Amino acid sequence: MKSFVPVCAAALLFLAHPVLAGPLSTAQVTAGADWVVHADYDQFNKSELGRLIRAELGQLGLEQKMLDFETVFSFHPLDDIHSVTIYGSGDDQEKAVVLIDGTFETEKLVSLVRMNPQYERIDYGNFTLHSWVDENKKDPNAPGRRMYGCVYKDNLVLVSAGLPWLKQAVDVLAGTAPNAAGSFKQAVLDKKGAFLQLAVNAVGTIAQNNRKAALLRQTEELGAVFGEDEGIVYVNLSLKAVSEDVALNVKKMLDGIIAFMSIAGGEKPVLADIASKLDVTCVDRTITLYFRSEPTAVVSFLKERWKVQK
């Protein structure tokens, strides 16, 4: 998914008023998508984990940076964005779409895009599509990527690196093109308090060219959800294997990893603590990994990892 970060960044230039806030709605996703990611900022901000992380951001001085950002762009990166949905097909950036819901001064932000030297306006039915070139920051001498965006009515923003997929996304929202309702695994996605959801179909096909993803090449479906319910942070990961034998082997591998973490806990107590909060089940061809923890423990772990990374 790292290849879609530039798309997400460009999407922040096109923002509108609430319409997607809440859990993932696959009815907003085109029927041609085989993966979707949804981040519910509102749910995160009202969780205990969100409160604790925001407090840490304040101590690191990052809150002030976000306020400085708000002064320039007229929106707060966390408070004014309600949700973000990204979906696509395979790893082709031109077949990925970003949908953003937030509270912003749309006209001011769109005017910034119009300042792009290679800006173009495209009329599509009753909608106006905007196109600009996103500079290649890694290599200033390399050509930039042309992006496309649309403010859907006055409350929803769509951005894509591919014009056909942007048009299709507009049609899906307008009800003139088929959506992905019922196409993705919902068992792991319909969780109370979720603030990050992921669903992937045809996993093996997507990962077939990745030599380091042997496990994924033997997977049909993948679902994950991260959230907080009644003060407990949880992570649920669900994987549907191509056969029962593969599923059982994956469960044995995960059980072995958890056992190793428990044994290694003598030198690294944090590993033993994580292992004690993990549980793996296997039903038919589906393996589910559960993790539950207090928000304070999760923040402490993140702080430790931050220190190691610095």
In this prediction the pTM is 0.85
Pair 47, 114 in one domain? yes
Decide which of 143, 174, 205 is a domain's last residue. Answer: 174
Residues 161, 15 share a domain: yes
Continuous segment of H or E residues that includes residue 261 = helix 244-263
The reply to whether 39 and 145 lie within a common domain is yes
In a domain, 187, yes or no: no
Alpha-carbon span 122 to 129, nearest angstrom: 5
User: Has residue 65 been placed in a domain?
Assistant: yes
| Whether residues 73 and 166 fall in one domain | yes
Residues 166 and 292 grouped into a single domain: no
For position 134, what pLDDT does the model report?
85
Number of domains in the chain: 2
Same domain, 139 and 253: no
50 and 123 in a single domain? The answer is yes
pLDDT score of 31: 94
C-alpha distance from residue 5 to each of 8, 17, 39, 99, 113 (Å): 5, 23, 14, 14, 18
Supply the range of the domain harboring residue 94: 2-174
Element at 255 (helix H, strand E): helix 244-263
- Residue 114 included in any domain: yes
pLDDT values of the chain reduced to their tens digit, one per residue, 310 residues: 333 333 333 333 333 333 445 778 889 999 989 999 999 999 999 999 999 998 888 787 777 888 887 777 767 777 778 899 999 998 899 999 999 988 877 787 788 889 999 999 999 999 999 999 987 666 667 788 899 999 887 678 899 999 999 999 999 999 999 999 888 876 667 788 999 999 999 888 888 777 777 888 889 999 999 999 999 999 999 999 999 999 999 999 999 999 999 988 677 788 888 999 999 999 989 999 999 999 999 998 888 777 766 6
d(CA 79, CA 45): 8
25 and 107, same domain (yes or no)? yes
Final residue of a domain: which of 156, 174, 192? Answer: 174
Q: Look at residue 57 and tell me if it is in a domain.
A: yes
Q: Are residues 100 and 7 in the same domain?
A: yes
22 in a domain, yes or no? yes
Query: Does residue 200 lie in a domain region?
Result: no
> Which residues are registered as beta bridge partners of 292?
234
- Report pLDDT for 9: 36
Answer whether 194's CB lies under 8 Å from 40's CB: yes
**CATH code for position 277:** 3.30.310
Q: Environment class of residue 256 by beta-carbon count within 10 Å: exposed (0-12), middle (13-18) or buried (19+)?
A: exposed
Q: How many CB atoms lie within 10 A of CB 265?
A: 16
Tell whether 231 and 170 lie within a shared domain.
no
**62 part of a folded domain:** yes
Is residue 192 a part of any domain in this protein? Answer: no
**Whether residue 138 is found in the same domain as residue 247:** no
